[in-house]
Amino acid sequence: MRALILIAAAALATSCSRPAMPPGSGFAAATAGRVAGPAQTCVSTNPAENLHVIDPQTVAYGYGRTVYISHLAAPCPALSQFNSIIVDAEDGAQYCRGNRIRAREPGAVIAGPTCILGDWVPYTQP
């Protein structure tokens, strides 16, 4: 009987988990129906919006009509949808190419390794 309960619990837990997203699907979803514009060195920040992770090598900024995408030079090991992003920006009013970012897991005291932002490509709905 106990084995049956454990099997049922395991089946329930796996049925509730989110399916794994194939590589590149986050980028495709973020840019769907949008047209890429010329790359920009910096984007102005808005206190109501935050950077969000597309994948370990891609972050996005903005919602609504225009979303800005920055591809990092290499995958950033700590970047995940569930981690907070810390930006070391000289000018707090802009996120720029070359700014350092780090990610911190929930409950962690020390942030992960430093990664470098790339250019920002705007994707705008026509």
pLDDT tens, position by position, 73-111: 899 988 888 888 988 877 778 999 999 999 988 988 888
Question: What sections of 33-102 are H helices per DSSP?
Answer: none
14 vs 119 pLDDT, higher one = 119
- Phi first, then psi, for residue 96 (nearest 5°) are -125, 160
Residues in the chain: 126
- pLDDT of 29-41, one tens digit each? 888 889 999 999 9
Mean predicted lDDT score pLDDT of the chain = 81
Split at pLDDT 50, 70, 90, the class of 25 is: low
Q: How far apart are CA 42 and CA 55, in angstroms?
A: 20
**Distance between CA atoms of residues 122 and 126, nearest Å:** 12
Encoded amino acid at 89, one letter: A
Helix (H, G, I), strand (E, B) or coil at 88: strand
